[in-house]
Amino acid sequence: MTMRSMNVVLAIAMLALVPGAASAEPPLVLRVAGDGQGVRLGFDGTLRPSWHTDRDAMQTSIPRAGLEPTGAGIQIGATQALGESETPSLLSASLRGRFDGDHNRGWLGIGALTAGSESWHGAKWNLGAGWQPRVRAIDLEFAAFATPVSVPGGTYWREVHPTGGPDSLLVSELESAPGHDVVWTSGQTTLRLRRGRAEIAALGGVTVGPYTAPRTWAQARARCQLSARWALSLIAGKASPVALAFDPHSAPRTQLGVEFAPLLKSAPVAGTGLRATARRFSAASLGDGRVAIHVECHDARTLEVRGDLTEWEPVAMQRITGAWWELVVAAEPGVHSIQLRIDRGAWAAPPGLLVSTSETQGPTGTLLIQ
Amino acid sequence: MSRFARGLMTLILVGALGPPGRASGDSANDEARLKARLDPETARAVIELVHSAAESGLPTSPLKGRAFEGASRGADGALIRRAVAQELEALKDARAALGAASDPNELVAGAMALLSGAPHDTLVRLRASRPRQSLVVPLVVLSDLIARDVPVAAASSTVITATRAGARDADLLKLREHVEREVGKGVAPAGATGTGLRMLLKDQGKDAPRPAPSVGRAP
């Protein structure tokens, strides 16, 4: 593959309102990918403000049903064509609200997109929504995007119902139209399986709208985390163009890519470079000799706690609402050691706790109950 | 709520949980659980160490906890026996350093600091700096700094200096949070501890300690 035939996508993801604590996005990622239609450079980044349902977690009467807002994130992205390319340079920004429930997870987003193309005038707003039912072993997501598309002036075939009703005869007629914007809507389903440092995904979708025949696509993706900062990705098939996708990571064509995350200190397990990470830990006395332990952790399937409070037996936490997990244990006053394990990974000190370690003991959180 | 406030709240839980106890649960039940989790030889040795600690007036929970931890990790019986014996020795050492009148929680935190690598003398000096107040938080902060790769000497001198300067537990937790944050940014642990101590002393209205002039330097 020559350099000219390479399509290079350079993506930079910036995170940081909660340094090192975000659950899903790495602090900085560069992506380089090549396909057969020119050269592209770009970046995208994510800001993930750390607001959450703290109120709920600190109360003992925690709501246990329904979707609740658990966070918001801002994503900024850009791609720049190098050499000849059919795809214009793009700059996008989007704001997503995130909701978590016992059995479902979802997001709503609004974004703005502009391009360095003569046919593109100003910024265009788009809307997106996603729904992720919790399914064991796989990630499943249904998403929909509404995106304005500029239609240049000209003559188009248009489908009409001459008698006005939806069941009437459908005919096509030529229509002359000036340059204007219409809205195209895309639906997309993604299946993703993660094992260790590897991830495979399959996605399919359709785009419908005025002045276009329905466009369908399907794509298979494989990604392998090579080290803490490097990952290799292979994408086969076609997907929605970046301008129609709500995700600036969208890869419209078959491509081979490399990702670099310079600010990551430890290797993500898998996924879009991501692993579930506990963001917050809290503990509150229930006044009856028990303590309620709460942990905020997005994207986790299981959370377990062990320590002297559990006689070092792993005890599963229960998801109570959104990204919050709970465990109520008997606890006597004193200094206690505690560890947390996410998705049966390595045991570690819970976030925010003081840490101790010794010759025979790994990093362990220190909890003082007075 | 600030991260500091959350950290403080997380660390210290004030609840109506009753007076501090030295041992948890019923002794017979504890022994039965130890026998159920450990091989006979290890269980017998651990129970003897627990009895020894109880007779000496030392907390027994850390010993049982260490044994359960070893069992949970699938550690070899000899390793478990050694770890429990080390814990007992650390508790004795902590009491020798902190004084016989020390609170059981201070002894547990002191043993934790000693097992983390803190020297005996650091505990003695900490007690001298806080003869009547609890040393639990200074000791767990000391362990935390060592666990975050702050050199033992720097961690010890930092906690001692801060405590002598009259720093409250909340100030020490703030210092520790500063170190965690700075180390997360890539700052060297010793440097982060130094800046944290200077900030703490500044807040206390005291001058930060200055490096001693090198030998032979002109005044």
Is A43 or A106 the better-scoring residue by pLDDT? A106
Domain identity same for B1 and B83: yes
Domain identity same for B137 and B181: yes
* Residue B59 pLDDT > 80: yes
- Strand-pair partners of A90: A79, A115
Lowest mean pLDDT among A274-288, A334-348, B111-125: A274-288
A300-316: pLDDT as tens digits: 888 999 998 999 999 99
Structure-token pair, residue A194: 């993660």
Task: Report the distance separating Cα B15 and Cα A330, nearest Å.
Answer: 13
Chain A nearest-CA distance from B62, in A, is 8
Q: Does a structural domain hold residue B112? A: no
Q: Does a structural domain hold residue B184? A: yes
Chain B positions touching A352 (Cβ under 8 A) are 3, 6-7, 10
Reduce the DSSP state of residue A9 to 3 states and report it: coil
Is there a contact between B69 and A289 if contact means CB atoms under 8 Å apart?
no
Lowest mean pLDDT among B5-14, B50-59, B113-122, B188-197: B5-14
Lowest mean pLDDT among A21-30, A282-291, B110-119, B195-204: A21-30
Closest partner residue to A335 (CB to CB) among B82, B140, B146 is B140
Q: Does a structural domain hold residue B62? A: yes
User: Is residue B4 within 8 angstroms of chain A, CB to CB?
Assistant: no
Chain A positions touching B176 (Cβ under 8 A) are 354
Domain identity same for B133 and B182: yes
Domain identity same for B127 and B42: no
Is there a contact between B14 and A358 if contact means CB atoms under 8 Å apart?
no
Band (B126; pLDDT cuts 50, 70, 90): very high
Nearest CA in chain B to A360: B83
- Strand-pair partners of A107: A98, A130
State the average pLDDT over residues B104-108.
93
Domain identity same for B97 and B122: no
State the average pLDDT over residues B212-218.
34
How many distinct structural domains can be found in chain B? 2
* Residue B127 pLDDT > 90: yes
Is there a contact between B15 and A332 if contact means CB atoms under 8 Å apart?
no
| Per-residue confidence (pLDDT) for residue B85, from 0 to 100 | 95
Closest partner residue to A334 (CB to CB) among B66, B105, B115 is B105
Is B44 or A21 the better-scoring residue by pLDDT? B44
15-54 of B, contacting A, C-beta below 8 A = 15-21, 24, 33, 37
Q: Does a structural domain hold residue B54? A: yes
User: Is residue B14 within 8 angstroms of chain A, CB to CB?
Assistant: yes
**Residue A156, exposed/middle/buried by CB under 10 A (0-12, 13-18, 19+)?**
middle
- Last residue within a domain, chosen from B71, B101, B131: B101
Band (A81; pLDDT cuts 50, 70, 90): low
Chain B positions touching A337 (Cβ under 8 A) are 65, 69
Share of residues in chain B with pLDDT > 70 (%)? 82
Q: How high is the mean pLDDT of chain B? A: 83
- Last residue within a domain, chosen from B56, B72, B101: B101
* Residue A77 pLDDT > 80: no
Band (A52; pLDDT cuts 50, 70, 90): very low
* Residue A360 pLDDT > 90: no
Is B129 or A33 the better-scoring residue by pLDDT? B129
Q: Report ipTM for this prediction.
A: 0.79
- Last residue within a domain, chosen from B101, B126, B148: B101
Domain identity same for B139 and B83: no
* Residue B111 pLDDT > 50: yes
Q: Does a structural domain hold residue B108? A: no
Domain identity same for B138 and B217: yes
Lowest mean pLDDT among A159-168, B64-73, B111-120: A159-168
* Residue A138 pLDDT > 90: no
Domain identity same for B10 and B45: yes
Is A19 or A152 the better-scoring residue by pLDDT? A152
| Per-residue confidence (pLDDT) for residue A232, from 0 to 100 | 86
Lowest mean pLDDT among A10-14, A262-266, B40-44, B50-54: A10-14
Q: Does a structural domain hold residue B133? A: yes
| Per-residue confidence (pLDDT) for residue A171, from 0 to 100 | 58
Q: Does a structural domain hold residue B109? A: no
Chain B nearest-CA distance from A44, in A, is 22
B9-58: pLDDT as tens digits: 445 443 333 333 333 456 788 889 999 999 999 999 999 999 999 999 99
* Residue A120 pLDDT > 90: no
Domain identity same for B136 and B68: no
Closest CA to A152 of A123, A181, A126: A181
Band (A193; pLDDT cuts 50, 70, 90): confident
Is there a contact between A361 and B143 if contact means CB atoms under 8 Å apart?
no
Task: Report the distance separating Cα A14 and Cα A30, nearest Å.
Answer: 10
Share of residues in chain A with pLDDT > 70 (%)? 58
Is there a contact between A335 and B136 if contact means CB atoms under 8 Å apart?
yes
User: Is residue A50 within 8 angstroms of chain B, CB to CB?
Assistant: no
* Residue B7 pLDDT > 70: no
User: Is residue B83 within 8 angstroms of chain A, CB to CB?
Assistant: yes
Nearest CA in chain B to A315: B72
Residue in the block written with tokens 């963001």: A279
Chain B nearest-CA distance from A189, in A, is 37
Chain A positions touching B70 (Cβ under 8 A) are 360
Is there a contact between B147 and A306 if contact means CB atoms under 8 Å apart?
no
Domain identity same for B64 and B147: no
Return the DSSP state at A118. T
Q: Does a structural domain hold residue B110? A: no
Band (B156; pLDDT cuts 50, 70, 90): very high
Reduce the DSSP state of residue A41 to 3 states and report it: strand
* Residue B157 pLDDT > 90: yes
Residue ranges making up the domain that contains B206: 117-219
| Per-residue confidence (pLDDT) for residue B9, from 0 to 100 | 44
Is there a contact between A354 and B17 if contact means CB atoms under 8 Å apart?
no
State the average pLDDT over residues B82-89.
94
| Per-residue confidence (pLDDT) for residue A44, from 0 to 100 | 54
Contact of A305 with A315, CB cutoff 8 Å: yes
Closest partner residue to A369 (CB to CB) among B17, B141, B184 is B17
Element holding A256 (H helix, E strand): strand A255-260
User: Is residue B100 within 8 angstroms of chain A, CB to CB?
Assistant: no
| Per-residue confidence (pLDDT) for residue A3, from 0 to 100 | 33
User: Is residue B99 within 8 angstroms of chain A, CB to CB?
Assistant: no
How many A/B residue pairs have CB atoms within 8 Å? 147
* Residue A194 pLDDT > 80: no
Interface mutation vs chain A, best among B3, B17, B150, most A CBs within 10 Å: B17
Share of residues in chain A with pLDDT > 90 (%)? 8
* Residue A67 pLDDT > 80: no
| Per-residue confidence (pLDDT) for residue B67, from 0 to 100 | 93
State the average pLDDT over residues A203-215.
84
Domain identity same for B85 and B20: yes
Task: Report the distance separating Cα B50 and Cα A351, nearest Å.
Answer: 32
Element holding A32 (H helix, E strand): strand A30-34
| Per-residue confidence (pLDDT) for residue A248, from 0 to 100 | 65
Chain B positions touching A331 (Cβ under 8 A) are 17
Domain identity same for B55 and B145: no
Nearest CA in chain A to B180: A352
Chain B nearest-CA distance from A313, in A, is 6
Chain B positions touching A281 (Cβ under 8 A) are 10
| Per-residue confidence (pLDDT) for residue A121, from 0 to 100 | 61
- Please report how many Cα atoms fall inside a 13 Å half-sphere around the Cα of residue B216, on the Cβ side: 0
Chain A nearest-CA distance from B207, in A, is 27
Is B152 or A111 the better-scoring residue by pLDDT? B152
Residue in the block written with tokens 């200096």: B161
Reduce the DSSP state of residue B124 to 3 states and report it: helix
User: Is residue A234 within 8 angstroms of chain B, CB to CB?
Assistant: no
Is there a contact between B108 and A285 if contact means CB atoms under 8 Å apart?
no
Band (B1; pLDDT cuts 50, 70, 90): very low
